[in-house]
Amino acid sequence: MTLGGSLSRFKNMFFNASWIMFERFFRMAANFFVVIMVARFLGPDQFGVINYLLAVVNILGPITALGMVGVLVRDLVKNPEQQNEMLGTSFVLKFVAALICSLALVVFSIFYETDPLLIWFTVVFSLSLLFKPFENVKLYYESIVKSKYVALSESMVIIVFATLKVVLVLMQAELLYFVLVYAGEVAMMSFAKIIFLRKNDMSLLSWRFKPSLVRPLLARSLPLIFSSMAAAIYMKVDQVMLRFIIDEAAVGVYAVAARMSEIWYFIPIAVVTSVFPALIKLREKDSVRYYRRLQAVFDILFLLAFSLALVVTFISEPFINIAFGDEYSASATILSIHIWAGIFAFMRQGLSKWLINENYLKFSLYSQGGGAIINIALNFVLIPLYAGIGAAIATISAFFISAYLVCFFTKKTRPIAFMMTKSFTAPFRVRSIIRNLKS
């Protein structure tokens, strides 16, 4: 491997990461100010309704993806000659899954909800699931390390819908219009990527459904269907349970804290998504450098998460009071607790990609499933006692167990557990981290 080739690949990865970071930072900045405006205008009750619906859709989202996110990227990198068949087959499978989830959500709301208005709100959000299969375009661009087009399309969606939300606040619109806008944003975030799909890259019309690929695709991704759903559950089930155990206002107060905590989760996604294709190739050529790079990734993820948690803990109270007002004062304590889940949430991104690289997907299922069960159990115990604070504690516990502690339980994942443990000393090893990245 020549020095020029290494530099070229590094520049390509850096350029790709820069686009992902730009889009995610842009989304964070837009959401930051819009969330403040919308939350203050709607108040905890109505803001809680919006976030309850978003939580339900986010829990069902991984089912519509069929666990194929990382697997499909890996397969497209390894077998680019089969891209049209893989993309077309997975699109059909995902659409069928999205249709089933959408109908199931509507049926559930009809039989369970007592408020007719909330039933209609649920129907509107359920339709947004039907656009999820178009995420295949994003996965394709990730596989060829060209996230520029994904970033551009998602940035356009963010601008349009952030503007609409601001307009609704200024017009003092009713909750129904906010529901339509939020559901529309979920749908368009998946669909708008086809705008930048260039003919010289590929065309949606070239995608082909190939029945013989159905079984291998599902077999490789099946464990991830359940593990990604489990991950979504312990990320969002707290808001669903708060709504049914306490009320919508509790969801609104908690959602403010959770959003200000989770708004930073674009960072590990951008970092790991950009290095994933290179790590796939490096594993096959040089295992020593592969694990050295992997350690550097965990180190960087810890440094970023720890720094954020430390800062947010100290500024949470004045920030919440100034930005959101007295109605959300209880969000400050929740935020100062919830933000520490980011340490394990950041490193989970690195762990998930490693599990895909090593084809150890069953572990992902067991760890994510265990985290979801623990989170639900703790929420049942802690929410009635401490409301949102209890939900935040449950979230940290779930991340700690599913992203870190369980890695000590199997021989294959134990080296990764030690890597993550070593990353806790990253502030004292900055020079070695830089050397590992350059090597």
Condensed to tens digits (0 to 9), the pLDDT of residues 113-139 reads: 888 888 999 999 999 999 888 887 777
Give the tokens for residue 211: 């029945």
Given CA atoms 265, 161, 42, 380 in this order, what sign does their dihedral have? negative
What is the rounded CA–CA span in Å between residue 135 and residue 85?
A: 16
Q: What is the pLDDT of residues 196-236, one digit of tens each?
A: 665 556 677 778 888 888 888 887 777 677 777 777 787 78
Residue 19 pLDDT greater than 60, yes or no: no
- CA 102 vs. chain centroid, Å, equals 20
Mean pLDDT of the chain, nearest integer:
83
Task: Record the pTM.
Answer: 0.80
- The span from the CA of 376 to the CA of 90, in Å, is 31
Q: Which DSSP category does 115 fall into?
A: -
pLDDT 10s digits, 225-278:
777 777 778 778 899 999 989 989 999 999 999 989 988 887 887 778 777 767
Length of the chain: 439
Name the residue with higher pLDDT: 333 or 294.
333
413-418: long-range contacts, CB 8 A cutoff, minimum separation 24: 413/360, 413/363, 415/291, 416/294, 416/351, 416/354
Q: Tally Cβ neighbours within 10 Å of residue 358.
A: 13
* Helices 69-78/211-245 angle, 10° precision: 150
Q: Which residue would you say has higher pLDDT here, 389 or 370?
A: 389
Mean predicted confidence (pLDDT) in 66-83: 75
In whole angstroms, what is the distance from residue 13 CA to residue 11 CA? 5
pLDDT of residue 61: 82
DSSP-derived 3-state class of residue 439: coil
The answer to whether residues 328 and 255 touch, using CB atoms and an 8 Å cutoff, is no
Q: What is the pLDDT of residue 433?
A: 62
Q: Which amino acid is at 103?
A: L
Distance CA 400, CA 403 (A): 6
Domain ranges of the chain: 3-438
Helices (H), 66-135: 69-78, 83-112, 116-128
Torsion of CA 167, 57, 191, 140, to 10 degrees: 130
pLDDT by residue (tens digit) across 22-64?
A: 666 767 777 788 999 999 999 999 999 999 999 998 888 888 8
User: Could you tell me if residue 20 is left (phi over 0), alpha (psi between -120 and 50 degrees) or otherwise beta?
Assistant: alpha
Beta carbons within 8 Å of 299's beta carbon, 6+ residues apart: 422, 423, 426, 429, 433, 436
- Residue with tokens 């077309």, as numbered in its chain: 88
CB-facing half-sphere around the CA of 154: CA atoms within 13 A: 24
Which pLDDT value is given to residue 75?
Answer: 74
Q: Report residue 44: phi and psi, to 5°.
A: -55, -40
Residue 114: what pLDDT? 80
Of the two residues 194 and 2, the one the predictor is more confident about is 194
CB distance 284 to 299 below 8 Å:
no
Question: Long-range contacts: 396-400, Cβ < 8 Å, 24+?
Answer: 396/337, 396/338, 396/340, 396/341, 396/344, 398/234, 398/371, 398/372, 398/374, 399/234, 399/341, 399/343, 399/344, 399/345, 399/348, 399/371, 400/341, 400/344
Radius of gyration of the chain measured on its C-alpha atoms: 21
pLDDT of residue 432 exceeding 60, the answer is yes
Positive or negative, the CA dihedral 423, 283, 412, 61 is positive
Which of these ranges, 5-14, 130-139, 332-341, has the smallest mean pLDDT? 5-14
